[in-house]
């Protein structure tokens, strides 16, 4: 039989794990989208060489498992003299991962902006940087927003793996609790539910940001 009551005494363990996961998610979502936006702009508007560099980055990340990327950064990089704490390694790995996926997504958004919009900005005297930030980004993001949100959720869920390098996140908490009270099923079930709640919360947060960003879609 299931005994969820046994988990109550560990609620602070779960809570601190949840906090770590939320913290990392917020940070890496912001950083990852920033990386993705920069790389997508280079990929769409940059010169041949920089386009190629971005493509290689994107393909390398998209075609290898996140856990291997994490192990490479955490265990592999010290061999090159780069020593990172588990938390730092996780943050970097998650950012790089989301950065690559969002590059592909955001680039599709940039590609959907008509040449006329860019020309209109040009003949009004805007610099290219101004054109990007003022004219192109918002409509481009609107086009791909749902895909971007889904990807951020996928990366958040993927972060469960960082427990494997001893970051004390939500999954780490679940492992800890089940090793103490041997209620594996209950412990993982509660954790899964917490992750599900996080996904819903993240989607909700994105949607409210989207409502503000894309207010022109809802205007009367």
Partner 1 sequence: MIEFSNYDILRNLLFATQWTILLSLAAFIGGSSVALTLTALRLTRNKVVHSLIRGYVELFQGTPLLMQMFLCFFGLSMLGYEISAWGAAILSLTFFTSAFLVEIWRGCIDTLPKGQWEASRCLGMSFLQILRYIILPQAIRVAVAPTVGFSVQVIKGTALASVIGFVELTKVGTMLNNATFEPFKVFTLVAIIYFLLCYPLSLYSKVLEKKFNGSR
Partner 2 sequence: MALVNLDQVHKYYGDLHVLKGIDLKINKGEVVSVIGRSGSGKSTLLRCMNGLEQYQEGGIVVDGKEVTTEDIQVRQLAMSVGMIFQNFNLFPHMTVGENIMLAPTIVLKKPKYEAERIARAMLEKVGLGEKFDSYPEKLSGGQQQRVAIARALAMNPKVLLCDEITSALDPELVGEVLKVLEQLAKEGMTLILVTHEMNFARDVGNRVVFMHQGKVWEEGDSNTLLSNPQTDELKQFIGAVL
Q: Which residues bind partner 1 (CB under 8 A)?
A: 59-60, 62-69, 71-72, 75-80, 153, 157-161, 164, 171, 174, 178, 182-185, 188-189, 191-192, 195-196, 199-200
**Interface residues toward partner 2, by CB under 8 A:** 114, 116-117, 119-128, 130, 134-135, 138-139, 142, 214, 216, 219-220
User: Could you give the CA distance from residue 190 to residue 217 in angstroms, rounded to a whole number?
Assistant: 38
88 binds, among partner 2, partner 1, none (CB under 5 to 8 A by kind): none
178 binds, among partner 2, partner 1, none (CB under 5 to 8 A by kind): partner 1
| Closer residue to partner 2, CB minimum distance, 138 or 176 | 138
Minimum gap (Å) between residue 57 Cβ and partner 1: 13
| Closer residue to partner 1, CB minimum distance, 91 or 132 | 91
User: Could you give the CA distance from residue 173 to residue 13 in angstroms, rounded to a whole number?
Assistant: 6
**Residue 7 DSSP label:** G
| Closer residue to partner 2, CB minimum distance, 5 or 115 | 115
Backbone angles phi, psi at 132, to 5 degrees: -60, -55
User: Could you give the CA distance from residue 39 to residue 131 in angstroms, rounded to a whole number?
Assistant: 17
| Closer residue to partner 2, CB minimum distance, 85 or 208 | 208
164 binds, among partner 1, partner 2, none (CB under 5 to 8 A by kind): partner 1
125 binds, among partner 1, partner 2, none (CB under 5 to 8 A by kind): partner 2
Q: 110-113: list long-range contacts, CB under 8 Å, 24+ apart.
A: 110/40, 110/41, 110/44, 110/45, 110/136, 110/140, 111/44, 112/139, 112/140, 112/143, 112/144, 113/139, 113/140
User: Could you give the CA distance from residue 187 to residue 54 in angstroms, rounded to a whole number?
Assistant: 41
Confirm if 111 and 45 have CB atoms less than 8 A apart. no
| Closer residue to partner 1, CB minimum distance, 67 or 205 | 67
Minimum gap (Å) between residue 32 Cβ and partner 2: 23
């Amino acid at each position: 039989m299931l005994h969820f009551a046994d988990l109550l005494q560990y609620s602070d363990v779960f809570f601190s794990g949840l906090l770590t996961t939320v913290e990392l998610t917020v940070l890496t979502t912001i950083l990852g989208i920033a990386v993705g936006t920069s790389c997508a702009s280079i990929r769409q508007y940059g010169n041949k060489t920089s386009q190629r560099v971005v493509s290689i980055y994107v393909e390398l990340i998209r075609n290898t498992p996140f856990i291997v990327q994490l192990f490479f950064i955490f265990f592999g990089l010290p061999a090159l003299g780069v020593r990172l704490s588990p938390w730092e390694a996780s943050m970097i790995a998650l950012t790089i991962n989301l950065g690559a996926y969002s590059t592909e997504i955001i680039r599709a958004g940039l590609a959907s902006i008509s040449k006329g919009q860019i020309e209109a900005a040009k003949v009004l005297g805007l610099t290219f940087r101004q054109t990007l930030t003022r004219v192109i980004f918002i409509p481009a993001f609107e086009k791909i927003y749902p895909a971007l949100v889904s990807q951020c959720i996928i990366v958040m869920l993927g972060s469960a793996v960082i427990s494997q390098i001893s970051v004390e996140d939500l999954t780490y908490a679940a492992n800890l609790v089940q090793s103490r009270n041997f209620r594996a099923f209950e412990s993982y079930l509660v954790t899964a539910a917490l992750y599900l709640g996080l996904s819903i919360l993240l989607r909700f947060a994105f949607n409210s940001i989207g409502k503000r960003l894309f207010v022109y879609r809802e205007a009367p």
